Structure 1
């Protein structure tokens, strides 16, 4: 009974409560990169925070901007624009960090701005194999159709590989 109450009191990243009818596996947090819309499954999303002071870390890929200290937790930050080879853009008041748990590690995804949480049923998702040659582990989980809009749905486990977020031991202990 207590677990049922806890489940009923959980909320989505946008702060709205989950309803019993909500299928969390079909819920995506959508965000903007330039004029394109992307989405990640909300299962791994823990929170959305504004930009903070970033401490740079040497010897990491250029799209790993560094780390932040979020309430005592060191969180590496990935600029998703740079990860996708898009031009770098100055951070502004709309730029946010989507904090996620991917595997056992937290990571922050820097995006141009969040849009909304959408329910996208499997019948509205075109899988990545329909879009050209399939990579061994494609970052695109599918293309979600939402009315006349589309959102590129990302596989966060591929987006954030362990080599991207592994920090030197002395940094992680800081």
Structure 2
């Protein structure tokens, strides 16, 4: 019965997991370009408070979004665990600041649950659902949808 394992691997999706405050989130690993240590970005005047500024990444100007501020986390401290996940979203490169990166987790369809309908600082359309493996519960994000919201100030005519 070798063919069943091929079918299973086709439906297994991999997520990069990261922490914000006490919550754990997952984003599609295929959207991740690289993970970097946090460095202070160049501030942009009149940008929303959660946009920390921009960095020059090998000649590309990359906006840096602090997800802790975006999601109204209680605190946003910068320490040795703070990282920037560089995302490649369509034709746009964006960096997100998170507390720490955990690991890459493969999830099978039976590990997914629909997200509950609750008011949240996260646009409900940007939450794909909840993933669970053992005791771990992940909030699975559609990072592309989240980063393209009107409130992000990152809208692009190129898309």
The structure with more strand, counted as a fraction of residues: 2
Aligned length: 146
Cα distance per residue 1:65-110 (max 9 Å; x no partner)? 1001111111101111111111232210000000001121000010
Tell whether 2:117 aligns with 1:132.
Answer: yes
1:29 aligned residue = 16
CA contact (8 A) 2:69 2:76 kept: no
Distance in 2 (CA, whole Å) between partners of 1:142 and 1:148 is 16
**TM-score, with normalisation over the residues of structure 1?**
0.75
Moved more, 23-32 or 158-167: 158-167
TM-score by length of 2: 0.82
Determine which of 86, 95, 105 is the counterpart of 1:99.
Answer: 86
> Is the contact made by 2:50 and 2:69 (CA closer than 8 Å) also made in structure 1?
yes
- State how 1:142-161 maps to structure 2 within 5 Å: 142-161=129-148
1:120-172 residue CA offsets vs partner (Å, 9 max, x unmatched)? 112211122xx0258985221110001111111111122101642538xxxxx
For structure 2, the residue ranges without an aligned partner over 5 or more in a row are 1-7
RMSD value over aligned CA atoms?
Answer: 2.4
- The runs of 5 or more residues in structure 1 that have no matched partner are 1-20, 168-174
